[in-house]
Structure 1
Amino acid sequence: MTAGPNGPLRQTLQLRLNDFDVLGHLNQAVYHELLEQGRIALLASASADSNAYVLARVELDYRSEVPVPTPEVTVETGVERVGRSSVRLAQRVLRPDGTLAAEGAAVLVGWDAAERRSRPLSDAEREGLSARLSQAAA
């Protein structure tokens, strides 16, 4: 994982042979697993508990294949917007040569597990997540 205290988080993730499908490229479901790892890492870097959020929306556009035997990809995760009870993230998957493989967005909602409903973000969460605002959003 690489990044300073501000801006998008970059994380290099290893791929496994079983991440690839019979067509010889990264299976579509694996992208979602990779992006989830990026979201968890971003929340941790912002001192936010990933168990205190639920995924409300995900968008993903595939741009170029990741062929077998690509050993790793880089996942970039940044904050586009911090709301009252939600945060919108921008995410990208890059091949080792820097080629954009996929890009998308996710909306996470603060979650009150005891009440089983959304909750407002705390000031500390808002501050930590705002430090990760993407350049385009800043």
Structure 2
Amino acid sequence: MSGDSDALVRVTQQLRLNDFDVLGHLNQAVYHELLEQGRIALMTALGGDSNEFVLARVELDYRREVPVAVREVVVETGVERVGRASVRLAQRIVRPDGELAAEGATVLVGWNRAERSSRALTDAERAALSARLVAAPAS
């Protein structure tokens, strides 16, 4: 993820002892919980409600171990692309020493709770999300 760092939402997350597995590193399921906290922080920063979206896709590449001695990480979240009914987010988990622990992308779809189906993003949502655009990572 590159581009305007002001577009990123960063949230520091404390790690608990039970977040680690018997091998002494962060359990793989916890990474997904951390990404969720990043998505919630982004929606909160935009003045939106994360319950107006559902998760449609997660891509996650593990880059560096988070050992049990690490007590917090930073989750960075930015918008890669805004579609008609969905938004693709770029997300990273960074250790306190600056090492990239994991990176990936998630796709959220606008959700109509009453009809329990997808919906188009509103103009206001599209504008707010577009204000957080970051460059997609090079392939």
TM-score (norm 1): 0.93
Q: Are the counterparts in 1 of residues 90 and 136 from structure 2 also a CA contact under 8 Å?
A: no
Query: Taking structure 1 as reference, are residues 125 and 117 closer, same or farther at Cα in structure 2, changes over 3 Å only?
Result: same
CA distance in 2, matches of 1:95, 1:84: 34
Query: Are residue 76 (structure 1) and residue 76 (structure 2) matched?
Result: yes
| Equivalent residue runs for 1:1-138 within 5 Å | 6-136=6-136
- The number of aligned residues is 134
Stretches of structure 1 that go unaligned for 5 or more consecutive residues are 1-5
Q: CA deviation at 1:135?
A: 3.9
Q: Are the counterparts in 1 of residues 26 and 65 from structure 2 also a CA contact under 8 Å?
A: yes
TM-score (norm 2): 0.92
RMSD: 1.6
Deviations for 1:78-101, whole angstroms, at most 9, x for unmatched residues?
A: 000001100000000011001000
Stretches of structure 2 that go unaligned for 5 or more consecutive residues are 1-5
CA distance in 2, matches of 1:135, 1:86: 17
Deviations for 1:66-124, whole angstroms, at most 9, x for unmatched residues?
A: 00121100100000000110000000001100100000000000000111110010111
Q: Are the counterparts in 2 of residues 17 and 69 from structure 1 also a CA contact under 8 Å?
A: no
Match of 2:3 in 1: none
Deviations for 1:42-71, whole angstroms, at most 9, x for unmatched residues?
A: 011112210110000000000010001211
Secondary structure of the residue aligned to 1:121 is: coil
Match of 1:3 in 2: none
Indicate the percent of aligned positions where both proteins have the same amino acid: 74
Q: Are the counterparts in 2 of residues 47 and 125 from structure 1 also a CA contact under 8 Å?
A: no
CA distance in 2, matches of 1:48, 1:105: 20
CA distance in 1, matches of 2:15, 2:59: 22
Q: Are the counterparts in 1 of residues 76 and 92 from structure 2 also a CA contact under 8 Å?
A: yes
